[in-house]
Structure 1
Amino acid sequence: MSLTRFCPKPGVRRLLAGVLSLAAAGLLAGCGSLFGSSAPKPAPLPTLPAQPVQLQLLWRDDLPSRRSPSQAVLAGDRYVVAGGDGRLAAYALADGRVLWRAHVRQELGASLGSDGLVAAVVTLDNELIVVREDRELWRTRLGSRVVTAPLVAGERVFVLTVDRQVLAFDALNGRALWTQQRAGAGEPLTLLKPGVLRAHRNLLVVGLGPRLVALDSLDGSVRWDLPLAAPRGTNEVERLADLVGPAGREGKVICARAFQSALGCVDADAGRLLWSKSGSGEEGTAVDAEQVYSVDANDRLMAWKRSGGEVRWSSESLLRRQLTAPVVVGRHLLVGDAQGYVHVFDRDSGQPVGRIATDGSAVDSPLSVAPGGTVLLSTRRGGVFALRLPR
């Protein structure tokens, strides 16, 4: 096993849960020289065609926050953003008008989930707080740490903890509805990075370690349980293969990345594994009718054939730029980077065809795509942006 297998991108080593064990910590100790001041520099901005694709800025705002936004979520015709100091705001997609603001007055750890009206956040003190627009509904202390954004759907709030518990609450009054605890919860090493927690029809699809599991949203019972990766190795770090979010979905197909080990797709209706391929990577996936897209550990952007997992193309034009998970917009693929650029690629060839600068700080949230193709994002400085590709 090569050393780079143990040493992920800058900042990701902080995502390995604090242990853990002295042996695991020792394995990571040698990473400093790889990612210190002598770390390889990000690739320069790639050359674009003579007539590049021009992304249009529809609107922007700045969320007043003393700490960078934790994340943002698209909810119907609203884009909801949470600042790290506990401030929340909901924007109208059409014009960026602020629909409501709230402030829970505590620093946030895990990011937010929202259906546009009800929003759920988790604080650094591990409190789950739920608000309805500008009014707090309830709060409760959680027994385990949370780094994955809660999911708000069907008047329920779902929470995934780092020890692989799934909790369901009534969104209006906070009543605990059910808890699902899967095997492997006591493993000494877990990943402090947002995992997979998303809805599919009446199911809750969750990443529990290296497995993608579908739970009945009403009672938490397991509907199917599929392995996307097979952890291997002689130590805890080598065997770490938790699924990382976001998981891409197109129709009944859901595709997800297992940390530094594999990428795979399932038929969520049939509960059947379609394929799984080995490969390093730390970010989530996007999927369309033909291909699956993700970035590897060195920020190589890649596309796989959706039907069988064969590699279709690979682009090294954005190496070491600390990319977000990609999103699909029509015939294009978009990805953000740590310098605040949003890059546009031709999804068939993998060639860079356009880009736009935001505010010079890292794109902090996963890119979101609204119906009609509007792309939304937030940055580390608190910028909130709505972009659109030309029609």
Structure 2
Amino acid sequence: MNLLKRIAVPVACAMTVLAMTACSSKDERRIPTPLTDFKPALTVERAWKADVGKAGRYLFSPVAVGDAVYAAGKNGTVAKIDGKTGKEIWRTKVHADLTAGVGSDGTMTAVGAERGGVYVLDANGKLLWKSNVPGEIVSPPLVGNGLVVVRTIDGQISAFNAATGELKWVYHNRAVPLNLRVSAGMTFAADAAVLAGFPGGGLAAINLKTGDDYWQAPVSFPKGVTEVERINDVTGAPTLVGAESCAVTFQGKIGCFDANSGRPIWEKPFSSASGVAQDSGTVAAADDWSVVTAFAADDGRQLWRNDKLKNRDLSVPLLLGPSVVFGDFQGYVHFLSRDDGSFVARVKTDGSAITAAPVIVGDTLVVQTRDGDLYGFRPR
């Protein structure tokens, strides 16, 4: 079960990387569903391909800003690429092994490195400043509003002055015995707050000026007897559309909240280790069996469910026009109909896993594979 390879602390067979591989190989329930042919209803053309270096055991997420996409690899490469042509605008090499990236506002770009290193580049890809946080960084930094916001795997969030590297504030989340080794992103709520989910199932809106929380709300609560059963982490980045923010937990719930108060709008039992996508009409996610469900954004009613990608380790989704887009463990990009969840298109990359959310740059869909290739696709 590739999902639990991301567990932070190994506990017995079910919680170790090597043992889980051995255990899952005997579990027929976890055999990936074979892909079947279908008649495409959407044409998707490959526009370009670029390379930024392999991810290793980390997850690197590209970020789109304006007409460019920013991406990084474990070997220290950070690149800015033209989203239309795939041509390199700049490429730099940070002298450290990277563990997370990328965050950018188009002027400054940030990545996380081993031993809590934080590296910030200027608009031309030159090193502006570097600092450290006390913990491992596996989630991409958030850059904007004059800040570089960095979180460590235990949920601590540190905010730096983007121009100078001065530490402005630190937000501490309560510790939990076990947490997932997954990328847990953050989202700006205009220029007032950063939204973040935490191990233990909590969601918070944090004041950008002071680091104090405006509110905290539980997405779900831990259940079970053992520490493994009680893992209940918010996964992926909270989404924000208007005044509604949505989030999902592992072994918990999916739900949407009033971003101004934290008041729940709707919640449903669900479990996901990847994350959620949201727009004004739809909330979509793959559960930890890679069964995809779409919910109505206003009240959480189920719109459709697709189990034909079961156990294919689907990425965070992207809602794109009439489609819901996922990458999988073999480098396929799947396009599902927003209306009913049926397959409308499928394209292949380099055969390695796509775990980060696809991003959109203009009319180009960009995905990053674990082998470090960036692909630009254009749906027609």
Same fold (TM over 0.5): yes
Structure 2 CA distance for aligned equivalents of residues 65 and 246 of structure 1 = 23
Task: Check conservation: 2:295, 2:302, Cα contact below 8 A.
Answer: yes
Give the drift of 1:381. Answer: 2.1
Task: Check conservation: 1:196, 1:243, Cα contact below 8 A.
Answer: no
Partner of 2:190: 201
Aligned residue pairs: how many?
373
Give the drift of 1:232. Answer: 1.3
Partner of 2:296: 305
Q: How does 1:263-302 map to 2 (within 5 A)?
A: 263-302=254-293
Q: How does 1:1-391 map to 2 (within 5 A)?
A: 9-10=1-2, 12-18=3-9, 24-25=11-12, 28=15, 31-36=20-25, 40-49=30-39, 51-63=40-52, 70-132=60-122, 133-182=124-173, 184-185=174-175, 187-202=176-191, 203-209=193-199, 210-370=201-361, 372-390=362-380
Pair 1:306–1:77, CA change in 2 (3 A): same
Letter in 2 for 1:362: A
Task: Check conservation: 2:60, 2:140, Cα contact below 8 A.
Answer: no
Letter in 2 for 1:47: D
Give the drift of 1:94. Answer: 2.2
Give the drift of 1:168. Answer: 0.5
Structure 1 CA distance for aligned equivalents of residues 147 and 266 of structure 2 = 32
Structure 2 CA distance for aligned equivalents of residues 26 and 53 of structure 1 = 43
Give the drift of 1:366. Answer: 1.5
TM-score normalised according to structure 2 size: 0.92
Deviations 1:257-292 (A, max 9, x none): 111221111121343211221122211111122221
Q: Please, what is the CA RMSD of the aligned residues?
A: 2.1
Structure 1 CA distance for aligned equivalents of residues 367 and 311 of structure 2 = 20
Structure 1 CA distance for aligned equivalents of residues 356 and 249 of structure 2 = 19
Letter in 2 for 1:229: S
Pair 1:275–1:64, CA change in 2 (3 A): closer
Pair 1:310–1:37, CA change in 2 (3 A): same
Structure 2 CA distance for aligned equivalents of residues 352 and 304 of structure 1 = 18
Q: Show structure 2 runs of 5+ residues with no match.
A: none
Deviations 1:65-119 (A, max 9, x none): 6958733111222100101100011012222221111111211112321222311
Structure 1 CA distance for aligned equivalents of residues 59 and 318 of structure 2 = 20
TM-score normalised according to structure 1 size: 0.89
Q: Show structure 1 runs of 5+ residues with no match.
A: 1-8
